[in-house]
Amino acid sequence: MTSKMDRRKQYTRMVLKESLLKLLQEKSISNLTIKEICETADINRSTYYAHYSNQYELLESIEEEFIEDLVATLGRYNFSKEEEALQMTEKLFEFLADKNGICKILLSENTDMYFLKKGMGITHEFIFKNWVTDSRIDQETYEYINMFMVSGSIHVIKNWLENGMDKTPGEMAGILHHFINRGLSGVR
- For residues 5 and 3, what is the distance between their CA atoms, to the nearest angstrom? 5
- Mean pLDDT lowest among 16-25, 133-142, 146-155: 133-142
Q: Please, what is the angle between helix 139-162 and helix 169-182, to 10°? A: 150
Give residue-wise pLDDT tens across range 108-138.
888 877 777 777 777 666 666 655 555 667 7
Other beta carbons less than 10 A from residue 168's beta carbon: 13
Please name each of the domains of the chain with its CATH number: 2-53 (1.10.10), 59-186 (1.10.357)
More confident residue, 54 or 88: 54
More confident residue, 157 or 86: 157
pLDDT at residue 183 is higher than 70: no
Q: How much is the pTM?
A: 0.81
Q: Euclidean distance between the first and final Cα of the chain, in Å?
A: 65
Per-chain mean pLDDT for the chain: 84
